[in-house]
Chains A and B, each alone.
Chain A
Amino acid sequence: MRYSVAMSGDTEAVMRDHLLREDGQEDVLIATYVLSTGIERTTAVIRSVILPRDGERHVHGNASFTSAYVLRAAHEARVAGHGLALLHSHPGGHGWQRLSRTDWETESDYERVARSATKMPMLGMTLGGENIAWSARFWFDRTEPTWAESVRSVSPVLAVTWNDELRPVPKITGAQERTVSSWGDRSQGRIARLRVLVVGAGSVGLDVAQRLAATGLITVGVMDYDAVERRNLDRMIGATRLDAALGRAKVDVAARLMKSAATADVIDVRRHEVSITDPVGVSIALDYDVIFSCVDRPWPRAVLNGIAYADLIPVIDGGIALTTFPDGHMRNGIWRTHTLTPGRPCMACIGQLVAGEVSLDKLGLLEDPEYIEGAGREAPSHQNVAALSASVSASLLAQFVSLVAHPGSRGAPAPLHYVLSTHTLMQSDTSCGPYCAYENATRTGDRRTPIAEHRNDWREEVEARKAKRHPLRLRILSSVEYLLQRYTNRLR
């Protein structure tokens, strides 16, 4: 299991403002956290900050907690059902901070208090003030801490401090020369280590996944339970007639293309042939640092909308809608992209997710012809053009670059939409309403609203595909293609 810590940008600002004093001395602070549990990663999501009252800590060069402060905070954490986090600062510290003997003993001493009160491991955190670098460790017992791999601060600006020992900086390769010259080797080192998940491997997702691989990311996941069909070939650039003839899983096609496009010496392509609307899909998603939402149905988008706020994993979503005149000519096209983080509105509040449609999608009624006729609804349209899909993926990737490289220090933009007929790019100034169920569930972690549900339909589809036997000529072609690909990818 890997461990990490996540906090919203607002929470981080409160903690930073307290811990970095004008007089340059160290300070201490206590916070609470909830867990966000993935398959391979457990994240402590900082939930609330408990500022010290007068006399509850000593500032004397090396700051220290009083027992009264720790006991009060432990009680508050227990009542709320949260875990306890003890924080301190190293004002002159640069990068991931290790523990001094004194700090080790302090945290070790309070571990029992925290665990007996909250029944959860104690979290220790240090802020290095020189370059605003956070570090963290989990105390499962008082003997030795388990170090986290990363600490992320999530707002329209995503800032991740990496533990270089657990997630080393990847080597810059010759193929990355132009990329590194665009944003520098430090940014490349930070960005390349992000674990990014692309949900939906259709026209847009396939393009996004390949470009992430080409950017030099060393771990990219792709999630889709669907297969390539002949009708997909006008949009899935890189998918072949053989993929369609074999009905290959979209994640397999994406993996092949990502390995071809990768510029890192070694890329870990994770294939997830599952649905994000199932709890297993959600657990997998919680292992990632950033998620691209390249799905077009309301239910999966609602699930991802929830994860963005509850688990502090930025979700970059987008889509395209084309309309035609009755005679079949193109009338208009609108594509939209938006990054979902605390500080930016959720999909429901910008009108990109109609809550009532989620229920219909869950019930399987959105595309049910009998239901559509009875309800007097219009059948959903699925028009798309490969030439325009690239506009969506380009806009999604621009949001990603703004989020992680922050050109101009401004981070991800407000929601954008482009109107093809008038050639107008617009930025929305919408914010979430006071009763937004998604924003109000920010930092809830495993207590998130359960929108995903266990279903068998997609599992049966995947199993049937795996059990299918194909003609001999297709299997021979597939083997030849596999070998060619394998040897090509070894070229340096």
Chain B
Amino acid sequence: MSEASQQFIADMTAAGASARADGPRILYDVVAVGGALAGQTITTGVSISEVQSWPAVPPHWIHLPASVHFTETNMDETDCAPGYVRHSRDYNYTDTSIRPARAWLSHVRGFISIAIAEAA
């Protein structure tokens, strides 16, 4: 694993989201703070190929269980674990007074908090 990938794992773990490599992706757990999944622990992740320039360049796609839905999203299954899809989500992080891993976690939490309830 590249130095940047190891750094991403270390930074996420230090930020409170214990991260581990899993094939072509890195997984970590996040507790949803709002929306349809509020209070639930969600295992999410990123493609390892997307953290090769971490922390200068953050990842883009967010891996989530296929059971998590959004009103508007681009998604595919590249690098995803079985039962997962990854969602494209613009990330406009510019504040370098915040640790990059903390900023990324806030972004992911924000995204998960707008998940909608699965249609019956």
A interface residues (Cβ-Cβ under 8 A, vs B):
302, 306, 348-349, 351, 354-356, 358-360, 362-363, 365, 371, 374-377, 432-438, 441, 449-451, 453
Contact = CB atoms under 8 A, between A and B. Distances in A.
25 contacts: A355-B56, A355-B57, A355-B58, A356-B60, A356-B90, A356-B91, A359-B57, A359-B60, A360-B90, A362-B57, A363-B60, A371-B74, A374-B72, A375-B72, A375-B88, A376-B72, A377-B90, A433-B97, A435-B96, A435-B100, A437-B56, A438-B56, A449-B53, A450-B4, A451-B56
A356 B56 contact: no
Nearest to A368: B74
Contacts of A450: 4, 52-53
B74 A374 contact: yes
Given A371-B88, A438-B56, A359 B4 contact: no
Contacts of A354: 92-94
Interface string B68-100: 000011100000000000001011111111111
B50 A359 contact: yes
Contacts of B34: none
Interface residues of B, number: 26
A375 B62 CA distance: 14
Nearest to B107: A356
A342 to B, nearest CB: 15
A359 B4 CA distance: 15
Contacts of B52: 450, 453
B77 to A, nearest CB: 15
Interface of B: 4, 50, 52-60, 72-74, 88, 90-100
A359 B56 contact: no
Contacts of A302: 53, 56-57
B58 A435 contact: no
A433 B93 CA distance: 13
A360 B53 contact: no
A359 B96 contact: no
Given A354-B92, A376-B72, A435-B96, A451 B58 contact: no
A356 B92 CA distance: 6
Contact of A451 (B57, B60, B95): B57
Contact of B56 (A363, A432, A434, A449): A449
A371 B95 CA distance: 26
Contacts of A351: 94
B88 A355 contact: no
B53 A451 contact: yes
Contacts of B57: 302, 355, 358-359, 362, 449, 451
A352 B69 CA distance: 33
Contacts of A362: 57
Contacts of B96: 348-349, 432-437
Contacts of B73: 374
A434 B97 contact: yes
Contacts of B97: 433-435
Nearest to B88: A375
B90 A375 contact: yes
Contacts of A453: 52
A174 to B, nearest CB: 48
Contacts of B91: 355-356, 359
A282 to B, nearest CB: 12
Contacts of A356: 58, 60, 90-93
A365 B72 CA distance: 17
A376 B74 CA distance: 10
B25 to A, nearest CB: 15
Given A356-B60, A374-B88, A377-B90, 20 more contacts: A348-B56, A348-B96, A356-B91, A356-B93, A358-B53, A358-B57, A359-B50, A359-B59, A359-B91, A360-B60, A376-B72, A432-B96, A433-B96, A434-B96, A437-B100, A441-B56, A449-B56, A449-B57, A450-B53, A453-B52
Given A374-B72, A450-B4, A435 B88 contact: no
A295 B95 CA distance: 23
Contacts of A360: 60, 90
Nearest to A371: B74
Nearest to B96: A433
A359 B74 contact: no
Contacts of B92: 354, 356
